[in-house]
A and B are shown apart, each in its own frame.
Chain A
Amino acid sequence: MATLDLMSISKSFGSAKVLHDISLAINDKEFVVFVGPSGCGKSTLLRIIAGLEEATSGQIMIGGEDVSTAHPVDRGISMVFQSYALYPHLSVYENIAFPLRVQKMEKAELDARVQQAAGILQLTDKLQLKPGQLSGGQRQRVAIGRSIVRNPKVFLFDEPLSNLDAALRGDMRVELSQLHRSLDATMVYVTHDQIEAMTMADRIVVLNGGRVEQFGTPMELYHHPKTKFVAQFIGQPNMNLIPATVSAADPTGVKVALSGGHEMVLPVDGGHISTGDRVEVGIRPEHVHIGDGGFPISVNVLERLGGVSITYGTVGDGVRFCASLPGDAQVQEGQPLALNVSPEDCHVFDASGDVLRRKAAPAIAVNG
């Protein structure tokens, strides 16, 4: 059992507070991704879990044991670094064997472990090479090999794919997911790339400004973002936010006038807002379709990707709007377009950026 519990972790560098009271409970064998913009504290949090930084306050429990002040090895973690951190003067074999050499492991067992790790990662014929002779993806695998020989309880990954090109990144994502399944270990993965987060994670922690914005399954975050920040961070292209004014509100629904005048009744819990409040209506680009009776946008730029046509334009008083229309949509740059969206697909955020609970959202999301 290797659960990982963070209890009220805070971290300050001098007077700058970078992590605010973070508490998370990560299950055994779970793949959890920390995602957020640069500077949100996700790497610092990972380094605190690894034992490379000390938390200013709070506790870290691994497998139910308090390891807040323990050495990384005693915590039972291993870490894969963004730059791979391979030792350039050592062969692939010695790089993978390094943690075992530190333990002064007996030669036969060491060799068996290295060969096993190399087998899993398809590096068996590369063992005598130096890291400099390998491609980016192979180096990444060596770094992972070095982390698995020690059989740690928790694997930590610090943006391991950000140095790879896009195609390779896609392949490595699949490999990492398979590795997680075959190793059956708890993994914590830091990235700024929401696609990596959505594709690999069992659950995602969205961090912003040193605080947890939301912790949930990918679909939970997609369908039920708690804040405007999460809503915009998850999903590609980003969710559109249109300023609106509330003209009527009660717990069963909210009537709003979008910027530009278009009126909609949205099935969200309007219990705590009142008429005249300024809100923002969030609409995902993939949820709109061309149709009469909707709101007009003027199309500025059109990106045809074959499968979808991404349309950029403005709504109302110059609010930027993006629509992802299926196929080879009948749209032209410079022409106005009427877009429709069903009210159930809309999100509403109050002035402080918190969501109004959706009443008609997909049910699968809640339990993940």
Chain B
Amino acid sequence: MKSDHEFLSLADAYIRGEMNHQDATAFENRLLSDRESSEKFNEHKEFIARLTGYGKRIDLQQKLDNIHSTLDIPEIIKNAIPHKPLIVRLWDKYKINSLVAASVAILAVFTTLWITGFYSKENSSQYVALRRDMNSIRQNVKAQNALIKDINKNQSGNINPSHYGATGFALSSNGYVMTTYHVIKDADSVYLQNNVGNSYKVKVVFTDPAYDIAVLQIIDKDFKDFGSLPYTFKQNPADIGEDVYTIGFPREEAVYGRGYLSSNTGYSGDTVAYQVSIPVNPGNSGGPVLDNRGNIIGVINSKQTETDGAAFAIKSDYVLKAIAAIPEDSLEKKIVINKRNTLANLNRTEQIKKVQDFIYMIKVY
């Protein structure tokens, strides 16, 4: 015990450099010669190193705290926090997430639209005017729609090189014929062909784009007179449910179509037109809609593409109003609307026989 104490005192003195040269050399020699002393010394030295390491650490910590206390901490914090507002920082952080979410949403929307067949329809509008494009067997609905859209803003329009077919009917016996405006609006020339096959050149004498009405006059010198018209225009509104029919030229031959009046308004609540449930096709445009008694209640002008049997006909009273609005001096002859109905007591087939002589195919070039 005593010797251990003395040894460690010497060791401490040696480590601290407090020994004189002679003693130090003697101590070193002792360590070299005695293995036990050497081990004991190293052990002690290591422990003292730990102790001084501890002291140094405490000292360093103290120094660091002193330095820290001299700093302007609020200023450092202010500079450390980005100056972007919260929303920008959130955006930076969640940018990727939100972009991914948005992409997924957009993809889902368009995939759904695609799957449900939204894009398989060529036109988004459900409304289609009924003139027949004679140049293509396949009815180009899209082109027609584009033409309809242009009705009001572009009267001269782009001249469409193709020509159209539609229907018209005699308005008065002296050669006036009624059809729809959209049929003849871009026309270079208009011809009329009756059911016997005779063609007459006509000119457009009046148009009313708002009601989709056009009045043509036969200017061919071969033409004399239609003869007396069998039908009249119905002055009063027709009733829903009434049996109606039309004759038109969706192809080169006259085609009869029957149905009933299904609504008092047209496409999207248009009060100018009736909705009639008659199968109609491009080419039926301009055809008369007659009731059981042979009164014209309207003029076919369009149909709804999405709905079966929803065709639209301009109401006869608007047709009459439009005709009445034609300035008299713009016409060569007066339009005399027939007031005597000779169809009233005939059955349907006989009515048709009589009526079809006054219904014509309109050819537009």
Partners in one complex: no
Residues of A that sit less than 8 Å from B by CB:
none
